[in-house]
Amino acid sequence: MEEIKKQLYFISETIEKIKPSNDFLSIEIIFKINPHKELLESLDLEIKKLFEAFKLSKKSIVFEKKFQNSRCEKPISTETLSDLSLIKSLGSGVYAYAGIFQRLINGLDKHLKNIALSLDADEFIFPNLVSTSTLIKSGYLKNFPHQSQPIYDPNCNIESLRSLRQEIKEGVRVSEIESFNQYYKASDFSLSPAVCYHCYEFFENSIFEKDKGKLTTAMQSCYRFEGKSTGGLERLREFKMREFIAMGEPEFVQYFQNKFINIASKLCEDFEINCQLKSASDPFFIDDYNAKRIFQTGFELKLELLTQFKKAPSLAISSINYHQDYFGNSFNLRLHNGKAAHSCCIGFGLDRWCSTIFSTHGVDPMKWPDELRKII
């Protein structure tokens, strides 16, 4: 239901709030201004399409963990974490971390990096900017135009820049400047929504020798526009992600897909996190929703590691994505026999992992499971 809500907000700016009923049989939609007939008709159609797609995409569970003593009822609130001076909001969906929060993010990331290195992964440092043409090549801009975050360059025009300075001096907020595109124009870059696109770009036009696939790892900040769903540490505009990426022959990549499942399972065991690993699908743009969603869930190409809360919707802390030869074809990653390479990645959303750990075990490391305390 959270996903349906998120998608519906993108239909019109005039939607103020979407409230599903407790039994999920109806949805109340509150508008800022009276909606016109065409908008109501289009909403009706999209809601039907979304529910249809959900009904058709049956989800199966790969594993489930339940810990007896867990007191995990719902995600820890940002107010609680702010009161403890562990986070500070720097705007909607953007946070700074301090104290045990930053120690846990760093410790967790180091732990994950060491796991990747123990599997012989090569580590990379990627920028937070990604060229927009890479996002087009990877299919991201087509599939997720509603989540993309392109960046802007100033126009090289002294008059225009002077007039912008004047508007700013007068106290106008940049987001309210109507003639914004008089001052800035779309650049060739976007804020990167994930880590692995950089990796395919890095290896573009490579040939993988027989039995010589590649495992890589990197951590970076990622950016997604979540619209009105932005909130808490669950839906951030900027978040940190560590990814492991396997590229090469199908057998090599499938071996790592299984490894990634085992790594996710062991982490949840060690850290005593209530969770399920389930087949899932991406929040594709509304036009493409049905077919792609069913394809992904049907072939179990996307698996999501979901934290289970007693009194809140489950939350994805990691995902394992098997892309078959999709990126191999998009980025011309070839095998020795000329066929396109396969790829698979696992992404760990570090902010959500940390908030899940705090929600489950509290913020005092003395009360954490031993394996968890060891990583900070």
Q: Is there binding between residue 345 and Zn ion (CB under 5 A)?
A: yes
Q: Does 305 bind Zn ion (CB under 5 A)?
A: no
Measured from the CB atom, the residue of 124 and 180 that comes closer to ligand AMP is: 124
Tell me whether residue 208 or residue 307 sits nearer to ligand AMP (CB atom). Answer: 307
Which is nearer to ligand AMP, 7 or 319 (by Cβ)? 319
Tell me whether residue 213 or residue 283 sits nearer to ligand AMP (CB atom). 283
* Span of 49-57, 179-187, 227-235, 341-349 interacting with Zn ion by CB under 5 A: 341-349
Region 117-156 residues binding Zn ion, contact defined as CB under 5 A: none
Nearest to 290 by CA among 46, 53, 42, 43: 53
Q: Which is nearer to ligand AMP, 214 or 323 (CB)?
A: 323
Closest approach of ligand AMP to the CB of residue 226, in Å: 5
Enter the tokens of residue 146: 């509603």
Length of the chain: 376
Contact positions vs ligand AMP (CB under 6 A): 194, 224, 226, 235-236, 239, 241, 316-319, 347, 349, 351-352
Place of tokens 């992992």: 353
Q: How many residues in the shown chain lie near Zn ion by CB under 5 A?
A: 3
Residue 345 interaction partner, one of Zn ion, ligand AMP, none, beta carbon < 5-8 Å per kind? Zn ion
Binder to Zn ion among 72, 164, 196, 375 (CB under 5 A)?
A: 196
**Torsional sign, CA 302, 9, 314, 218:** positive
Q: Are 6 and 283 in contact (CB under 8 A)?
A: yes
Query: What is the rounded distance in angstroms from the CA atom of residue 184 to the CA atom of residue 198?
Result: 26
Pairing of strands 302-307, 315-324: antiparallel
Residue in the structure block whose two tokens are 């249809």:
52
End-to-end CA distance of the chain: 35
Which of these ranges, 53-61, 102-110, 252-260, 338-346, lies near Zn ion under the rule CB under 5 A?
Answer: 338-346
Short-list 323, 359, 358, 354, CA closest to 341: 323
CB count in 10 Å sphere of residue 5: 17
**Which two structure tokens, joined as six digits, stand for 284?**
């594709």
Q: Closer CB to ligand AMP, residue 235 or residue 342? A: 235
Minimum separation from the CB atom of position 299 to ligand AMP (A): 16
Site for Zn ion, rule CB under 5 A: 194, 196, 345
